[in-house]
Amino acid sequence: MVQKLRRPSKKNQLLEAAIHVAAQGGIEALTIESLAAAAGVTKGGVQYHFRSKDVLYEELLDYALRLFDLALEEKAPRGSKPGTWLHAYVDLSLGSTTDYDKAVATLLAGIPVNDERAGPYRRFAARWKERANADGRDAATNTIVRLAADSVWMERAYLSASSTEIAKLKQRLHQLIDEAQQ
């Protein structure tokens, strides 16, 4: 499924290049011009797919979050045994840091909360909250695990938390999931 989203189209190639530009230089570095240079296309070639920097940001955020969401669905399809989705969320959120993580973190940090460009995050976060709460554990544990995973993900993207710290947190979150009762 994830591979289908990443099929080789010019727009997807531009989004992949944008992921790397944002991950390396932050939101300030991601411009129409820098994306054109990174992708080896003209500025007009970028503007054909993204009429403005705001549209680029929103579509980039949506693209990266859809990849994460598809990976979640592959790891924990609907109808899986209770706790499977939360375990998958923890594993994927606290896995190795990728350019996707860094790009999403930098975009979220640079877009004000009420800004329409944050729409993709709000949509996916609501979906993940719903999936966590339907995962067969008590609602409080579901929320604690999801928010903890989100916080560790953000810290890891910015502060490069040690792999030992991450492993301990990941283990504890998995333990919380397994101990929780409906």
This prediction has a pTM of: 0.86
Chain segment 51-64, per-residue pLDDT in tens: 998 899 999 999 99
Which of the four CATH numbers 3.10.310.10, 2.30.30.700, 3.40.50.2300, 1.10.357.10 does domain 2-179 have? Answer: 1.10.357.10
Chain segment 133-144, per-residue pLDDT in tens: 888 778 899 999
Does the pLDDT at position 6 exceed 80? no
Q: Residue 104: exposed, middle, or buried by beta-carbon count in 10 A (0-12, 13-18, 19+)?
A: buried
Chain segment 157-178, per-residue pLDDT in tens: 676 777 888 889 999 999 999 9
Chain segment 43-93, per-residue pLDDT in tens: 999 999 999 988 999 999 999 999 999 999 999 888 888 889 999 999 999
